[in-house]
Amino acid sequence: MTTLHIDKEESDIFLLNRKKRESESELEKLHKETIPDIPLSKALHLLANVHGKVFDKAISTIRQSSPLELSVKVGESPTIKALLSIERYLETNKFKHVYEPLKEKFLKRSHQHESSMRIIGYFLLYSTKHQSTAREFIYQELLNDNKRDQLAAVILLQFLYAKYIIKEDHADFVYTLVSLFVQVTEKHSASPTLLSCSAYELSLNCCWYTYDRLRRPRAKEDKAIVEVESLNVDQQLDDMLCQTKKLIDILQRWHTMKDEAGTIAYQEISGLVASLKSHSVNSTITLEFIATYLVPRLVLHEKPLSQKRQRSILSYKVIK
């Protein structure tokens, strides 16, 4: 029988690791014990009436604090207490129970319109425990045949894009959303409705955002890994250009033009997008220009562009 000999140094390492695991387990237990279970309805009501700056500060505190630090801060902030209570609720209950009571507030644009979307935004963008569950739920809402469900999801993501996503790096998440946004736009592209136009504009913005973020240099890693990632990034960049082309074609169908000049203009734009294969900085600027100005609320407007708008477009720095 073989005897396994462990020297004193190895024994000390095993002992330290065991104590570390026990310490972490005790901290986690303490963390859970210090978070009171506020009923879901009460937690949602509290968060729906919190000022945006207070809510954002609570998110920042949660993200930057250790479990031990949170066990102290939870007693100082009702906002943190409510968010963590919902996190605990979701350990044994469906995300739908959190989302559905807030969805109507997205659509009705009540005084709790933005605060309700911030709550869902926390789980989509920042929750370490329930982010994947929240994202999968939103994917299904966008794939749903119910227009009202789709519109609520689009309105929510429009808000999150403008308030949080555009300022941070969520490229991986946004990339998974683009094809769904384009799918919603295509499905309802028979005419320019609130849903189809909102999905179109969000799709176009997300195409530019993803393209821009993917092009940015990342920290140096293993050469083999970098080569594989580079190949994947190139495919994703091409995909964003392909999705942009689909959107331009949809806008052209919506646009009733009185002469051939408009048709030629769309052909020029489509040709420009098709030529953006070098993935240079100029490509990003061009896509930003398209996302800024080639939108239904500007293009489909019957009144001619004001002189101020014309000067703004002409002064935009697009390098071909």
pLDDT at 36: 60
pLDDT at 301: 72
Q: Which residue has the tokens 């091409």?
A: 238
pLDDT at 230: 58
Q: Could you report how far apart the first and last alpha carbons of the chain are, in Å?
A: 76
Kindly state whether residue 303 falls inside one of the protein's structural domains. Answer: no
pLDDT at 16: 55
pTM for the predicted model, two decimal places: 0.82
Kindly state whether residue 78 falls inside one of the protein's structural domains. Answer: yes
Taking a C-beta distance cutoff of 8 angstroms, is the pair 32, 85 a contact? no
User: For residue range 268-288, what is the model confidence (pLDDT) as tens digits?
Assistant: 888 888 888 655 657 888 888
pLDDT at 17: 56
Kindly state whether residue 226 falls inside one of the protein's structural domains. Answer: no
Nearest Cα residue to 83 out of 114, 61, 107, 105: 61
Kindly state whether residue 197 falls inside one of the protein's structural domains. Answer: no
How many percent of the chain have pLDDT more than 90? 53
Given a cut of 70, whether residue 310 has pLDDT beyond it is no
Kindly state whether residue 98 falls inside one of the protein's structural domains. Answer: yes
Query: Which structural domain range is residue 86 located in?
Result: 33-168
Mean pLDDT of 109-124: 91
Structure confidence at residue 25 as a pLDDT band (50, 70, 90):
low
pLDDT at 233: 87
User: For residue range 217-254, what is the model confidence (pLDDT) as tens digits?
Assistant: 765 554 444 444 555 888 999 999 999 999 999 999 99
Instruction: Return the higher-pLDDT residue of 216 and 51.
Output: 51
Report the distance separating Cα 241 and Cα 237, nearest Å.
Answer: 7
Of 55-69, 123-137, 208-222, the poorest mean pLDDT is in 208-222
Nearest Cα residue to 59 out of 83, 35, 38, 30: 83
What average pLDDT is seen over the chain?
83
pLDDT at 156: 97
Number of domains forming the structure of the chain: 1
Report the distance separating Cα 141 and Cα 184, nearest Å.
Answer: 11
Residue 165 is given by DSSP the state G
Structure confidence at residue 318 as a pLDDT band (50, 70, 90):
very low
Report the distance separating Cα 188 and Cα 112, nearest Å.
Answer: 29
How many percent of the chain have pLDDT more than 70? 77
- Non-local (6+) Cβ contacts of 273 within 8 A are 241, 244, 245, 248, 286, 287, 290
Kindly state whether residue 203 falls inside one of the protein's structural domains. Answer: no
Give the CA angle between residues 118, 153, 55 to the nearest 5°. Answer: 0
Kindly state whether residue 183 falls inside one of the protein's structural domains. Answer: no
pLDDT at 97: 96
